[in-house]
A and B are shown apart, each in its own frame.
Chain A
Amino acid sequence: MKPIDTTLALNANEFSRLAQVDIAYRVAQMQRLAKRDNSVSHDSESNWQLDPLPYIIATEHWQDIERAVIQRAQMMQHVLIDNLSGRFFLQQGLIASSDVLGDPLYLQECQQATMQQDTPSMIAFDIAMYVDGSMQVTKQHLQAPKGLGVLLQNRIVTRRVMGDLFSEINVTRVLHFIEKLQSVISSVHPTLDDPRIVMLAQPKDDKYYSEQAYLAMYLGYTLVRCDDLTVRQGKVWIKTLEGLQAVDVIIRWLEDGQLDPLEQTQSQMSGVAGLLDVIRHDNVYIINPVHISIVNIPAVTKQLVQLTEAIIQAPSLFMDDSLTPTSEQLSAAFWHNGQWQTQPVWIRCFALMNGLDVSVMPSAMIWAKDTQNDAMLVKDAWIKASDVDIFSSMPLRQPSQVQDAALIEGVISSRTAENLFWLGTYIERCETSIRLLRTYIDKYSQLPMYPDLQNQTAILALQQAIEQQACIYPFTPMQHIELSYQPLLAHKQTVIKHIKTKEIAGSLYAALNGIDFAAFQVQELLVSDSIRTIEMLRHDLQHLKDVEPNMPNHMIHVHLDDVMSHILMLSGGLHDTMSHTNGAFMLDFGRRLARSEQLVSLLDSLLHVALDDSEQSHLLDILLISQVSSVTHKRRYRMYQSVQTALELLLLDTQYPRSLAFQIDKMIKLVQVLPQQSNSGFLSEFDQQLLAMRSTCHAQDKYQLAGIEDGQRKHLHDFCLTIKAQCTALRETIQTQYFTHTQLAHSVERQSYTSVRYNHEI
């Protein structure tokens, strides 16, 4: 009996034992677990679909596969060594030089940066297996093999759902391999015992980001993107809240040609400028080593079988790629729409290559193409252990435990901090927008019942402030123009416009989009409940498109209520579950700052121009309702409600949680958590700015603020302008000192240039 026949028999046996009901139950369980763990189904873009039934591989069959993978990896290593030490394979004509040198994967600029030949590599092969036992490598994944994170996620899910079967089959554990991987990565740096290791993800919109985030959490490394890293003084640094911190090892998910926009003109949108030169000087170590992709050049790949026989002097265990297989490709049954479908499968094996020492991960991903849905159907491969595995009682480690380990290091990348800051800002913008719009809807809906002129004037003043975006972001300076009668439909159109127009920076749509984007960037820090709430907000975002002028006002209100309840859920969830150690203070700081800006802008836009008492009273009512302060104001001031009392409550009361003074005090406390960047004994620029803001606030007299000169509250206006400017300065400082680490707040715009072309004739 051939080893592959044992595998086939094992799977047929397990398959026959399963009842349909059992399968359906498992599918439901897996979907639930996958969602809870932000697992495969969360990342719809990468479109891996986990099948409920694992694929079991017999011990002796796996040993065949393992031997072949080791042989292929060792041959690849010979090619890499040859590339660095004379390229005799090319000189001897074993590989056609013109095909190599002319291939797009051959990168001349990387030849100088590939001297770290001892650097380990994590590679993967897609293998087609045939029923006669032969195997062919159909694809080599050498630069940043995808699927390892998915495999680990799948293993956790399938093991939970099928724990009994898992023990009964005595599946080989992967823990050993993972530990070896971590140990090899840690020992890459020749001198440091505890190097700083980061995992460099692709630029934003990368469809594999979820997998990378999972893997980073699982292995305990900080996940960074290109913009998180900078090259200064010949070294690579990560931008963190603590300032720039040296990076020693980079596990890269970028392709060879995308590493450095300074030397690689084709990688304009990705990479870290200057990275290749740092690698060249051995000031950072890259896993997988640069230019490993040369082994993927077709001229090299097609010679690997012949080279194996020539160099290793043993028959290749993989069939030549160019040969047509003589027997049928191995198939497996996948559960699809309530029934089984048999599909030809490939096995993706992962291996750690450390010089000529190769370790193969004792698990694999069995996959098939789902051409109808443009997806990859995947199964967890269970390798039957040859004897009792000493690790069988050890559970597979949960990523959340390692996540904390990564944070003990104290590294909160500036990008993470910045995204948390913006998440807080957008949550606040969203909340205040909804409160304003709901108040506005309520008021104009009641106009037919209370058509008095004073009420109309107050509503028109609010409409003017919203239309000019003076009370919503970007808080444009208000141009007070004469108010004129507006039909009800015009009010509704104002609301709809500010709910769903993408182009309006302060619209609800823009704020929700901002939440979605910022939350995605920090998803590794969020608990599953928060992620589910964000999913709900994503649905809300879609539903906002349905808001049309023919929709009744109360229905628009319902939509806004839904969004508001999800925002409050998210806000409360984040508050309860995020610890300060992973940057929750940044989220809170973003909120407080946004609330301060919002509050002064609203007061300025609605109270700057004085109205008569009755009109003023209506407008004050609108203002207090939109600030959820109406009840407090009534209770506290009863008979004596006025502009002074409103200003006292909303600006100056340090005990009132919605007041400006309260926000400032909170921000002062939050700043204490930020790493200080000034010499002890002196206040930082940040402290100075907040102190100035506090002084500005507390130096005010409510009567003076409410005082009217020439029909305007000039003191209030000046005060609001000052606070707004101070808020802007705070934003600028936090950007430069903690996020960009440059002297410019907005330095994200990157450009490349080369000097003038040649132009000479004598």
Chain B
Amino acid sequence: MKYSITHKTEYTYQQNVSLAQNHARLTPLSNDKQHCLVSKLSVTPTINYQSQYEDSFSNIVNVFEVSNLHTHIVITAYSEVEITPRPQWDLFANQVSWETVRDALRLPNNPELLKAAIHCVPTAYTVSNAKILDYTLKTFTPGRDISDAVSEFMTRIFTDFAFDSAASNVDTTAVEVIEMRKGVCQDFVHLALSGLRAIGLAARYVSGYIETIPPKGEVKLIGADATHAWFSVFVPDLGWLEFDPTNNIVPHDQHVTLACGRDYNDVAPLKGVIFGGGAHQLSVSVDMNRIK
């Protein structure tokens, strides 16, 4: 399956900005599940400097600078991605208990495990508490197969938590989500990460896009797609297995990964520092279409 994605971010400032320095994580990853065929970043006004680096989670980061006076900036990322669906469930032929994985991560004796172990550590968004731990342990009973348990954990979050975009904000933490029992995809992912890390598993935040299909007979609106978030869990020898608690599905061929990290902070599509500007208005639109 191939997709073209246009991700447009616009900032309008109350006052002039004299210097804007940005880091964009808007280039889809290339890995065993997807291949980024095209990736272009265009910015208005003109970029004065641009470079790129790979961060410690292997995400592609575009660094750019705008040093002309501006009150309006438009950042458009266009990409084409080919998804290679991986039959994730077939990988679970061998039963692996979650405690086995946890114990391996406690003593990470090879580079792969060590790399995964950083995702066992709670972050500001994913600090846990007794309530989250209790909630998680209801699923993670002793000796249970990890894939089976995580899958049920995802379903429970989908069932127990209501989708409500007004309930939370960009700073909402897992501890707040467990109390509110509602939120958006970012909140559900932070909650899942918090629970999984609390029991010693390595889980990471995945940011990206999801294809939306309009109801039959209706035309898809331009810009109606959006960025999305889900999580993945590390299982030795199998790698990172993905789960989407917002939709209760295992990502197959409709999820395109942009970046992975410990939490939202590691994967924010656009981070910046501006000089001047005053108050600002933000608008984001995403278009994701199949390429035939």
Instruction: Give A residues with C-beta under 8 Å from B.
Output: 86-87, 90-93, 97-98, 101-102, 108-109, 111-112, 230-234, 261-263, 265, 273-274, 277, 280-281, 740, 742-744, 746-762
Q: Are A742 and B19 in touch, CB under 8 angstroms? A: yes
**Chain A hits for B238, CB < 8 A:** none
* Contact among A97, A752, A755 for B273, CB-based, below 8 A: A752
In the A-B complex, the 8 residue pairs with the closest CB atoms: A742-B18, A754-B268, A755-B270, A744-B18, A273-B273, A757-B170, A758-B229, A747-B275
Q: Are B55 and A281 in touch, CB under 8 angstroms? A: no
Nearest chain A CB to B183 CB, angstrom units: 10
* Contact among A112, A233, A749, A760 for B276, CB-based, below 8 A: A749
**A457-B4 Cα distance, complex, nearest whole Å:** 79
Given contacts A98-B120, A758-B207, A760-B184, contact A92 B53 (CB under 8 A): no
**Chain B hits for A752, CB < 8 A:** 271-273
Nearest chain A CB to B100 CB, angstrom units: 17
Q: Closest residue to A752 on the B side, CB-wise? A: B273
**A92-B111 Cα distance, complex, nearest whole Å:** 11
Is B227 among interface residues, defined by CB-CB distance under 8 A?
yes
Is B274 among interface residues, defined by CB-CB distance under 8 A?
yes
**Chain B hits for A232, CB < 8 A:** 48-49, 65, 67
Q: Closest residue to A277 on the B side, CB-wise? A: B63
Q: Are B273 and A261 in touch, CB under 8 angstroms? A: yes
Q: Are A262 and B23 in touch, CB under 8 angstroms? A: yes
**Chain A hits for B111, CB < 8 A:** 86, 91
Instruction: Give B residues with C-beta under 8 Å from A.
Output: 9, 11, 16, 18-19, 21, 23, 48-49, 51, 53, 55-56, 63, 65, 67-69, 106-111, 114, 117-118, 120-122, 163, 165, 169-170, 184-186, 207, 210, 212-213, 226-229, 246-247, 262, 264-266, 268-278, 280, 282, 284
Nearest chain A CB to B158 CB, angstrom units: 10
**A92-B108 Cα distance, complex, nearest whole Å:** 8
**Chain A hits for B65, CB < 8 A:** 231-233, 274
Nearest chain B CB to A758 CB, angstrom units: 4
**A744-B16 Cα distance, complex, nearest whole Å:** 8
Given contacts A108-B262, A747-B18, contact A760 B210 (CB under 8 A): yes
**A762-B111 Cα distance, complex, nearest whole Å:** 37
Q: Are B246 and A760 in touch, CB under 8 angstroms? A: yes
Q: Are A109 and B56 in touch, CB under 8 angstroms? A: yes
**Chain B hits for A740, CB < 8 A:** 18
Q: Supply 10 further A-B pairs (C-beta < 8 A) apart from A262-B21, A262-B273, A761-B246.
A: A90-B108, A97-B107, A233-B65, A262-B271, A274-B63, A277-B51, A751-B273, A754-B268, A754-B271, A757-B184
Q: Are A102 and B121 in touch, CB under 8 angstroms? A: yes
9 pairs from A and B in contact (CB 8 Å cutoff): A273-B21, A746-B276, A749-B276, A751-B277, A753-B272, A754-B272, A757-B264, A760-B227, A760-B228
Given contacts A262-B271, A743-B18, A750-B273, contact A759 B53 (CB under 8 A): no
Nearest chain B CB to A89 CB, angstrom units: 11
Q: Closest residue to B230 on the A side, CB-wise? A: A758
Given contacts A98-B120, A101-B118, A743-B69, contact A751 B274 (CB under 8 A): yes
* Contact among A101, A109, A111, A749 for B121, CB-based, below 8 A: A101
Q: Closest residue to A103 on the B side, CB-wise? A: B121
Q: Are A234 and B69 in touch, CB under 8 angstroms? A: no
**A758-B169 Cα distance, complex, nearest whole Å:** 10
* Contact among B55, B107, B121, B268 for A112, CB-based, below 8 A: B55
**A112-B118 Cα distance, complex, nearest whole Å:** 14
Nearest chain B CB to A94 CB, angstrom units: 11
**Chain B hits for A750, CB < 8 A:** 273-275
Q: Are B48 and A758 in touch, CB under 8 angstroms? A: no
Q: Closest residue to A90 on the B side, CB-wise? A: B114
Nearest chain B CB to A484 CB, angstrom units: 42
Q: Are B247 and A761 in touch, CB under 8 angstroms? A: yes
Q: Are B273 and A101 in touch, CB under 8 angstroms? A: no
Q: Are B226 and A277 in touch, CB under 8 angstroms? A: no
Nearest chain A CB to B51 CB, angstrom units: 6
Q: Are A112 and B108 in touch, CB under 8 angstroms? A: no
**A646-B53 Cα distance, complex, nearest whole Å:** 67
**Chain A hits for B67, CB < 8 A:** 232, 742
Nearest chain A CB to B43 CB, angstrom units: 14
**Chain A hits for B212, CB < 8 A:** 762
**Chain A hits for B270, CB < 8 A:** 753-755
**A86-B110 Cα distance, complex, nearest whole Å:** 9
Q: Closest residue to B51 on the A side, CB-wise? A: A234
Q: Closest residue to A102 on the B side, CB-wise? A: B121
